[in-house]
Amino acid sequence: VLFGGRSYMPSTQRTTEKWNSVADCLPHVFLVDFEFGCATSYVLPELQDGLSFHVSIARNDTIYILGGHSLANNIRPVNLYRIRVDLPLGSPAVNCTILPGGISVSSAILTQTNNDEFVIVGGYQLENQKRMVCNIVHLEDNKIEIHEMETPDWTPDIKHSKIWFGSNMGNGTVFLGIPGDNKQAVSEAFYFYMLKCSEDDVNEDQKIFTSSQTSTEDPGDSTPFEDSEEFCFSAEANSFDGDDEFDTYNEDDEEDESVTGYWITCCATCDVDINTWVPFYSTELNKPAMIYCSHGDGHWVHAQCMGL
């Protein structure tokens, strides 16, 4: 069974500005017969939009499709489809059922941990926001259940990277990669990690998943940031002594970023969180950029919250 994907716009619809534009393929399901070398397309009323970068799980004559991205609407709908293929004598029968309990995700990685369980890792929940939550998918007979699992202890590099990619390595292991830091004197093109989603030897009703990550990066090889790219604040970011001409560097703040001024709530609409924050500007490598507002008693605000 083939479903989803993208294609270039027909040449008759292209313009100079949009010559390389793509569109979601029509929501057709193709049944490919390798024995006879033929394919048949099916239009299913449940599939109204084309989808790309969804997650699919196949079990015998059933395929489950989760998530995906609709380019026409620029949304990642909470999808969960079940496509079943029956092969009676004569023409095959393909039907689709919309199931509840789907998830909104695109470009995720699927790995199988045992005969009936899979883990969904990575992907995106918005165009510029990675999906840091992982899900366990349990299949039993004709039932599918999706639950959130304990979030892995992502490294700071993974948390702060805007993009990530990878593939299933089998046996519950996922291979992840992120772009390297081009600000370093000796820059690596990419950094790679292995995420293991294997079960510990515990009681049946106390199953837990462990995650381990390794990287080729040696933190000691990193070069300092340029002066214009590093900001240092004390723990009390909202209180400043008017007699101090310069802020001083506090090494203790670097060891516990959860209490530094970088993670303050700078305004009512501030959504910068240490657990979900990703760089918004090219100069934000490990911490959000901040500016000093002299209004009133003066206070620090995140540059991205001010739309700068």
Annotated binding site: 266, 270, 293, 299, 302, 305
Write the DSSP assignment of the chain as a string of letters: -B---EEEPPGGG--STTTT-EEEPPSEEEEEETTTTEEEEEE-TT--S--BS-EEEEETTEEEEE--BBTTTTB---EEEEEEEE--SSS-EEEEEEEEEEE--BS-EEEE-SSSEEEEE--EEETTEE----EEEEEETTEEEEEE-PPP---HHHHH-S--EEEEEETTEEEEEEE--TTSSS--SEEEEEEE-EEPS--GGG--EE-----S--GGGPPPPPGGG-----S-TT---TT-SS----HHHHH-GGGSGGGS--STT----TTT----STT-SSS--EEEE-STT-EEEETTTTT-
For the annotated binding site for Zn(2+), the residues are: 266, 270, 293, 299, 302, 305
